[in-house]
A and B are shown apart, each in its own frame.
Chain A
Amino acid sequence: MVISEEPTPGNEQHASVVDNPQTPAETVKQPTEERRWEATQVDETVPDDAAAIKPDLPVPDSVLTPTPPLKDEFQEELVVRPLHSGDIYASFQFRTVWETDFTRGMSHYRLFPKSLGQVISKFSVRELHISFTQGYWRTMQWGQPYLPSPPGAELWVWFQDTVTDVDATWKELTNVLSGIFCASLNFIDSTNTVQPSASFKPLGIANGTDHRFLRYATLPREIVCTENLTPWKKLLPVCSDSLCADLVYNRLFFPPSVNFSTAVSIPRLCTYGRCVRTGRAKPQWSLFKMFSRTLTEACPLASSSKIYIDVTDNPQDQFELSPATHLLSQAVVLGDRRTFSVYDLTQQVTFGTVRSLNVLIRWKSTEGDMLRPLLHAERYVAGYGLQTGEIHTLMYNNHPFRSFPVLLLDSVPWYLRLYVHTLTVTSKGKDNKPSYIHYQPSKDRMRPHLLEMLVQLPPHSVTEVTVQFERALLKWTEYTPDPNHGFYVGSSVVSALVPSTVAMNTNITKEQPLFSTFFPTKEESSYFIRAYTEPLLVNLPTPDFSMPYNVICLTCTVVAVGYGSLYNLLTRSFQVEEPNPGLAKRIANVIRKMRGVPPL
Chain B
Amino acid sequence: MGLLSDPNRRRALISLLTRLNAPICALCYFAGVCWFMGLAFEPFTLRTYMSENAMGSTMVEERFPSGERALATGKEFAAHKKKVGGMPVDWLVKTMQARGLEVFTQSFSRTLPFPDENKERYMVKGTNVYGILRAPRAPRTEALVLSASCSPGDNNNQAVGLLLGLAHYFRSQVFWAKDIIFLVNEHDLIGMQAWLESYHHTNTTGMDWSPLQGRGGSIQAALSLELSSDVITSLDIILEGLNGQLPNLDLANLFYAFCQKIGVLCTIQGRLQRNDWDSVSGYSHAVQTMMLMVMKQASGRPWGDHGLFLRYHIEAATIKGINSFRQYKTDVTTVGRLLEGMFRKLNNLLERLHQSYFFYLMPSLSHFVSIGYYMPAFGLLAVILLLRALDLWVQLVSPPSSPGVLSVLTPLVISHLTGAALYILPTRFQEIAVEHFPVSETEAVVLTVIAVYTAGLALPHNTHRLLSGEGTEQGWRVLKLVAVLYLAVLLGCTALINFSLGFILALTLVPVAAFVTPHMPKTLSAVVLVILSPAFTLLFSVFFFQELEEMPVSFQDGWQLYLSVISQGILDHYLYGSLVYPLIALMVYPCWLLFWNILFWK
Contacts and interface: CB of A to CB of B under 8 A. Distances in A.
Interface of A: 134-136, 138, 140-141, 151-152, 220, 255-259, 278-279, 378, 380-386, 390, 392, 482-486, 488, 534-539, 542, 544, 546, 565, 568-569, 572, 574, 576
A136 B139 contact: yes
21 contacts: A136-B140, A258-B137, A380-B201, A380-B215, A381-B218, A383-B200, A383-B201, A384-B312, A385-B313, A392-B201, A484-B351, A486-B352, A539-B218, A539-B313, A542-B354, A544-B354, A546-B355, A568-B5, A569-B1, A569-B4, A576-B7
Contact of B139 (A141, A151, A486, A569): A151
A486 B218 contact: yes
Nearest to B54: A482
Interface of B: 1, 4-5, 7, 102, 134, 136-142, 172, 174, 200-202, 215, 217-218, 311-313, 350-352, 354-355
A255 B202 contact: no
A485 B351 contact: yes
A574 B7 CA distance: 8
Contacts of A546: 355
Contacts of B312: 384
A390 B202 CA distance: 10
A537 B5 contact: no
A138 B134 contact: yes
Nearest to B51: A546
Given A136-B139, A383-B200, A568-B5, 13 more contacts: A138-B134, A151-B139, A256-B136, A258-B134, A258-B137, A382-B202, A383-B201, A384-B313, A482-B350, A534-B140, A534-B141, A539-B352, A565-B4
A384 B174 contact: no
A488 B351 CA distance: 13
A427 to B, nearest CB: 14
A485 B353 CA distance: 9
A535 B141 contact: yes
A257 B136 CA distance: 8
Contacts of B137: 134-135, 258-259
B352 A484 contact: yes
B202 A537 contact: no
Nearest to B352: A484
B136 A278 contact: yes
Contacts, number: 90
A483 to B, nearest CB: 8
A486 B140 CA distance: 14
B5 A135 contact: no
A138 B217 CA distance: 14
Contacts of A141: 102
A537 B7 contact: no
Given A569-B1, A576-B7, A536 B141 contact: yes
A576 B11 CA distance: 13
A538 B141 CA distance: 9
A360 B56 CA distance: 45
Given A138-B134, A383-B202, A152 B218 contact: no
A485 B5 contact: no
Contact of B218 (A220, A537, A544, A568): A537
Nearest to A386: B313
Given A384-B200, A537-B217, A258 B136 contact: yes
Nearest to A489: B141
Contacts of A538: 218
Contacts of A152: 139
A148 to B, nearest CB: 14
Of A135, A482, A574, the most chain B CB neighbours within 10 A belong to A135
B350 A565 contact: no
Contacts of A279: 172
Nearest to B212: A380
Contacts of A483: 351
Contacts of B7: 574, 576
B350 A534 contact: no
A389 to B, nearest CB: 9
Query: Lowest 9 A-B CB distances belong to which pairs?
Result: A151-B139, A382-B201, A565-B1, A484-B351, A258-B136, A537-B141, A534-B140, A135-B137, A485-B351
Contact of A534 (B102, B139, B313): B139
Given A278-B136, A383-B200, A488 B1 contact: no
A197 B318 CA distance: 51
A536 B140 CA distance: 8
Contacts of B138: 135-136
A568 B140 contact: no
A488 to B, nearest CB: 7
Nearest to B143: A537
A164 to B, nearest CB: 37
A464 B6 CA distance: 69
Contacts of A568: 1, 5
Contact of A569 (B5, B141, B174, B218): B5
Contacts of B354: 484, 542, 544
Given A135-B136, A485-B350, A256 B174 contact: yes
